[in-house]
Structure 1
Amino acid sequence: MKAFKDYQSFRMQCRLNDEDKFEDSIPNCKFEMEQYPAVSGVLCVSEQVFGFLGQSSTDPFWFVAPFREVLLKLSEVNPALVLVKSSNIEFSIKFPGGLSAQNQKRTLLELWKKAADTPISKPLSFLLEQELKERVYPIYVSVDEAYFQKQRLLEEQWEKFFSVRKFGRILIRDKKLVEFVHQGVPDSKRGVLWQVLSGSSNSQMLKEQNYYENLLESHRNLPSLAAEDIDKDVKRSFPQHPYFKSPVGLTKLRNVLLAYSWHNESVGYCQSMNIITALLLLYMDEVEAFFLLSSICEIYMPNYYTRGMLGPTVDVNSFADLIGLELPDVAQHFKKLAVPVAAITMPWFLCLFIGYVPIDINLRILDAFFCEGYNVLFRVGIAIFKVNREYIMKAEDSYSILVLLKNGVTITDEILRIAQEELSHVSIDTVKDNRDIHKVEAIKKIELNARKDKINSLLSSTTFTKEELNEIYDRILNMTHSFDISYEQFSGVMIQFCPFWKDIFEENRYIKDNLWKYFCNGVDKEILSFDELVFGFNLFFKGPLEEKWNVCLQLVNVTKEANISREQLEIVINILISTYNKEIRNHPHTNQFVDNKVKLIIL
């Protein structure tokens, strides 16, 4: 359990997805590097990366390093010596004593050897002047001498920073880095820094080569449920920007969104992903934008862009709690006027504030977001309310507040200062604790709404009553804990509703296969949906006797016009009478119906 908690912290802080298998955590290690004070902490190791989480102070300190990016040297007496190939950084990690630590060091060495022969990734490249002119400059209201002067100053500051820290796919995170990000990032370096800070550059490197290109190629001629929505939305993404008036920009945007819909089919595509991706494409190429979009959807904002929208539902409630703590008078005023906080904040979070604040402020919000985490969105939201507190408190109705916060709020650098300095205590742990409180309730609400929608849909397409559908729903949920029924679960489901199937399945295995195929509408598949199950039940429980008879013939491999053996007929009659004998006994023409069928017996 301790190791699991270490890795969960490591995964969240170092921006890792769930694909990489966790191996071990080694406490009481010490990080040493020239120009850095020694830092104690936990070394976490997975199949493809290792990372260090500092524990010595409240200031942030961590890094993550893919094994393929480093040269590693271990011995029984010396610490691990690490040289980062892409940036020539050298540091050491001292292990605690004892046999356990020695075994862990050997595990570390074995994992590194597996990745040692992998070719080093190509270096990350900053935007060139021509790319800045075509993509970045048009997003600003004005690109004048003041802008260029500020960019030159930021360039100089970051060059000095990199000359000491080095730069590559591995970037040591500490208080100094956070301070530099808060001061501003030059546009030429912004795209690369976003990739490194978010960990998406590592995700790209750890995937198989040409993963994105192969994803597009392998799905090129396949239908996509998301394609129609994507085609509508790409034209609405920064429509006035020259880059997205050109076929090149629109094609890249469409490619990234389509590729992600295939890469993560549980998400597919959701509005607002187009706006985020369009902004990413102004600072990087489509492959890099794809992997950064993946990091946003899967690490920073999980469950945000799914059908149930669990993530934003939880976060707007968490945000309301934080407003109550930070600005109790504003929270009380909202309550008095019945202001729907979700209507205000959900678009902010879904779009990462893109389109809701001036672009220069928005870019700095994203700099901090990728550097520090999703808690930055909460800080900025609270800061907006704080700066506009006076106007909010004067509003006399909810409509006035909605209009103010949508169109009339004051958004200046003061928002960023408050978010970074006065609200620094709103940490990832703070937000996570609030999320955990609201998550259970949100899941219950989403499940209740999904249940209502499902029952109402099946009421109109089957002959079951609402009470019967609710009973089926509950029993299936209790048995499978989901509504996807596998072939292995199918027998248990059928026996649960009709115990007689147990003997039939045991004596005639092929009947189970035929019944599964019938419920799947003749399609060869591994999973049966809840709707398909109910439609199958509808025939057996509610369907006409003649139709049931024909289906039973299919189950025993008898075609409609063929003769039937005595053994096959006995199975069919037993299914009909033993499973649904009440209906058959009460059927006015049962005897005549059965007599007619018996004439088909081969004596």
Structure 2
Amino acid sequence: MPEAETTAAIAEEVDAFGFTIRPDEAAAAGQGKGSGKRDRRHTKKHLQTVRQREIKWRKMLDLNNFRGGQSRAQVEGLQHEKFRSRSFKGIPDSIRGEAWRAQLVDMDAEQYPTDAELNDAWERFEDLMPAEDTPLYSSFEVIDKDLHRTFPNHEYFRLAALPEQAALQGQAHSSNPNAKTIISGQVEMRGLLRAFAHQHPVPGYCQGMGMIAGLLLMYALRNDAYRMFCSLIRKEKYLLDMFAEGLPRVQLFTGALDWLLQKKLPDVGDHLMGEGLMAVIYGVDWFMCNFAKTLPWTTVLRIWDRYLVDGYYVSFVAAFEIVRLLRPQLLASNDMQQHMTLLRNLPIEVTSESVLIPAMDKSKLRYEDVAAALEANGYKPMPDLPEPRFKPPKPAPTIVQAASAPTQAEPVTSAEADAGAPGAPVRVAVQPTSDSPKHVAAASDENQGLRVVDVDDALPGTASALQPARSTESIISKSESLDLGPSDWV
């Protein structure tokens, strides 16, 4: 990136959530994407209110972690309504990550990998190179393509890196000759999505998952974000089957929205259907990303606070109210192209937190209505999927080779090895994988140079157990120096 362009990128103003503030958003008093009511958020009264709510949330989250000696059943029964009502009012931003984790992970944390397991595995996922003809390779390719278009206006995921971030930079998939440099947030997103695709071959990776992963990484460290992401994808009340092959739940939900509009807003529903403008044309991102790609950020967060409590019902209420608020504009003409543009580029007058959230609070759409719409479109309840046992990639085998080693192993007789002549080759064995019961030992002396041999269940230093090498071999000569000490025993 040219220096002037980089400087300009650094100088851009960002809002309280890390999103770049465009000039039109600043002029609109922070009502654009990624912004809230900037003046109100900095008033003393507002900050005092937020602080009081933070204290209440902290006490409630402590109780939900069973620190008061109450049972899980007591906590779930007594605290659910309080948790729900406070979530609907909006979770303080400083508490949001913990509150979301409490909803998604804490109650069944034993199903997920531990921090120790994940910390040990991230580098392996980064280095993993699956065979080119496998679904996993295809998933990794699509992940790398999507990185740079996922939250490109957020400072954590932006392509232009500050100089001090250089140490955190990684490289995109090495098989792609046009791969771009990726920065710290993208590295974490890439690792999370790679890990999920590896651990969950079905559904693997699907476009749209990056928006969910990015949202979670803004509010949680990567280990927690990974566990939260897995919970969302495997639970029926959230995104189960949303990313399955053929997108069956996307089709189900958009069909149910069409049904609701025709039943509850018949003038608008019939008008849109008469134009052939079904919800599957404009509403896919609404349901797949739960509006993370569509609405102003403060509105997105308020919807997600509710979504993690009540599940997909909240998505239907938001979608229904958006169409209801657009009713006058939709009925004003029969121009399908104009209506499609309107529904895909929602105006801020409808989507701002101060408009859409109160509309959702007053919505006449009930859970029973959503259930009827889903049933009319062939919905059948599904059980939550169990989280598979965590199996990270195995470490790559370590191969001991000299730079001048020939490509093919040559036979080495015992007479040649015992001759002690300068340059006489000796066997060097490749380290077995972690599945092998064998250990590898190195032995050397003044005459023989370095020799690496397999040892069946032998402890380092047990010379009597040394056996001729039986694994894949390469050749080095005695005249070449390789220094292996006790620390090189494996």
| TM, length-normalised to structure 1 | 0.47
* CA distance 1:432–1:408, change in 2 (3 Å): closer
Greater CA deviation, 429-438 or 151-160?
429-438
Alignment identity in percent? Answer: 22
Displacement of 1:430 in angstroms is 4.5
Give the C-alpha shift of residue 302 in structure 1: 1.0
Task: Decide which of 81, 93, 96 is 1:187's aligned counterpart.
Answer: 93
| Residue of structure 2 in register with 1:233 after alignment | 146
CA contact (8 A) 1:280 1:289 kept: yes
Alignment of 1:341 with 2:267, yes or no, is: no
**Residues 520-599 of structure 1: matches in 2 within 5 Å?**
none
One-letter amino acid of the counterpart of residue 128, structure 2? N
| AA of the residue aligned to 1:288 | D
* Structure 1 residue aligned with 2:229: 293
Indicate conservation of the 8 Å contact 2:36/2:298, yes or no: no
Per-residue deviation, residues 175-226 of structure 1 (Å, max 9, x unmatched): 33322222221111111111112x2233444434344345545654341321
Q: Which amino acid aligns with 1:315?
A: F
Are the equivalent residues in 2 in contact too, given 1:178–1:371 (CA < 8 A)? yes
The offset of 1:136, in angstroms, is 3.1
User: Does 2:128 correspond to 1:221?
Assistant: yes
1:8-27 to structure 2, matched below 5 A, reads none
Distance 1:436 1:163, change over 3 A: same
Aligned to 1:155: 51
Q: Deviations over 1:123-149 (max 9, x none)?
A: xxxxxxxxxx99834464468453244
Q: Which residue of 2 aligns with 1:354?
A: 292
Does the 8 Å CA contact 1:215/1:263 hold for their aligned counterparts?
no
Partner of 1:420: 361
- Is 1:406 aligned to residue 344 of structure 2? yes
CA contact (8 A) 1:151 1:187 kept: no
Q: What are the equivalent positions in structure 2 for 1:377-456 lying under 5 Å apart?
A: 377-409=315-347, 410-412=350-352, 413-423=354-364, 425-427=365-367, 430-439=369-378
Aligned partners of 2:193, 2:278: CA distance in 1, in Å? 31
Look up the SS of the partner of 1:155 in the other structure.
helix
Q: CA RMSD of the aligned region, Å? A: 2.7
* 8 Å Cα contact 2:189-2:213 kept in structure 1: yes
Please show how residues 242-281 of structure 1 align to structure 2 within 5 Å.
242-245=155-158, 246=161, 247-281=183-217
Matched length: 306
Q: Tell me the CA shift for residue 232 of structure 1.
A: 0.9
1:362-391 deviations in Å (ceiling 9; x for gaps): 110011101111110000000001111111
Task: Give the secondary-structure state (helix, strand or coil) at the position aligned to 1:422.
Answer: coil
Structure number with higher relative contact order (C-alpha < 8 Å, ≥ 6 residues apart): 2
Contact 1:281–1:289 (8 Å) recurs in 2:
yes
Aligned: 1:136 with 2:11 = no
Highest Rg: 1 or 2?
A: 1
Deviations 1:260-283 (A, max 9, x none): 101211111111111111111111
Tell me, yes or no, if the aligned pair for 2:61 and 2:99 is still in contact at 8 Å: no
Give, in whole Å, the separation in 2 of the partners of 1:182 and 1:330.
28
1:347/1:161 CA distance change after superposition, 3 Å = closer
2:113 matches 1:200: no
Tell me which protein shows more helix as a share of its residues: 1
Contact 2:101 2:228 in 1 (8 A): yes
- Structure 1 counterpart of 2:106, one-letter code: S
- Determine if the alignment matches structure 1 residue 169 to structure 2 residue 71: no
Question: How many angstroms does 1:432 deviate by?
Answer: 4.2
Cα distance, 1:440–1:422 mapped onto 2, change above 3 Å: closer
Q: Distance in 2 between matches of 1:286 and 1:398?
A: 43
Give unpaired runs (5+ residues) of structure 2: 1-13, 21-33, 67-74, 131-135, 162-182, 381-490
SS at match of 1:157: helix
